[in-house]
Amino acid sequence: MKKIEMLAFMTAVAVAAAAWLGVAMSSATTVDCGASACKAGTDFHANAESETELLNKVTLHPPIGTVECAASTTTLKLQEQGVGPNPAKASVSELSFEVCNATVKVLQTGSWDIHTDYTVEENGLVQIRTTSNNVGTVTSTGMEVTIELSGFHCIFKTNSTLLGRLTGSAVTKGTATLDIGATIPRTGGRSGAFCGSTAQMTGAYQFTSPGTLDIT
């Protein structure tokens, strides 16, 4: 596993959105485990598979340091498949950032909505694509993370925040992946405005179980 690098601007920790990702919710989402739909209660486990970095986007203050963690893992439990225009839903039972050069704590793990629809940006224009080809997006609600570095203390929390792009096993020819590109607001912390107002997280996670995970 490669190192997860979190760049903190005014000690920010976060999860948020890359400009080339967006979410549309026009069709139901089914999460498949192999040849059949995953049952409610199915656990999904993922590890960070590539360098991950968090960078506060606010430019009013200079950065105060870099937050680096050697590993990150997450476990989810499928709550329900998508019905009608609704996404599939999963609760996050585990989320950790480990072996960090700062104090990084997950206060709440939150939940995910998994959408088959996604958008991309091409030539400066956002084009909405509705797809069933095993590429979709994940939004996060209620994930709350705090960081302490060099005496600064900041808290960030997702609220229907675009987490990243989910690619199924049929596309990767192996395990499913989640490419993170996210921006979340600051919701608290003793350091107040020194934390900035938002923070970014980028990187990638690989699902280690189930072995085959697709979205349709």
Containing H/E element for 125?
A: strand 125-129
Structure-model confidence comparison of residues 30 and 71, the more confident one: 30
pLDDT tier at 58, thresholds 50, 70, 90: very low
Dihedral, 170, 171, 174, 179 alpha carbons, nearest 10:
-130
User: How far is Cα 198 from Cα 56, in angstroms, rounded to an integer?
Assistant: 6
Closest residue by Cα to residue 4 from 88, 92, 66 = 66
Question: Is residue 147 within 8 Å of 174, Cβ to Cβ?
Answer: no
Q: Which residue has the tokens 């003793």?
A: 190
13-27, 52-66, 153-167: which has the highest mean pLDDT?
A: 153-167
pTM attached to this predicted model: 0.78
For residue 13, which phi and psi values (nearest 5 degrees)?
-125, 145
**196-214: burial string, b at 16+ Cβ within 10 Å, e else:** bebbbbbbbbbbeebebbb
Residues in Cβ contact with 125 at an 8 Å cutoff, skipping those fewer than 6 apart: none
User: How far is Cα 143 from Cα 110, in angstroms, rounded to an integer?
Assistant: 4
Tokens of 54: 């968090």
pLDDT tens digits, one per residue of 166-207:
999 999 999 999 988 888 888 998 988 888 888 777 778 999
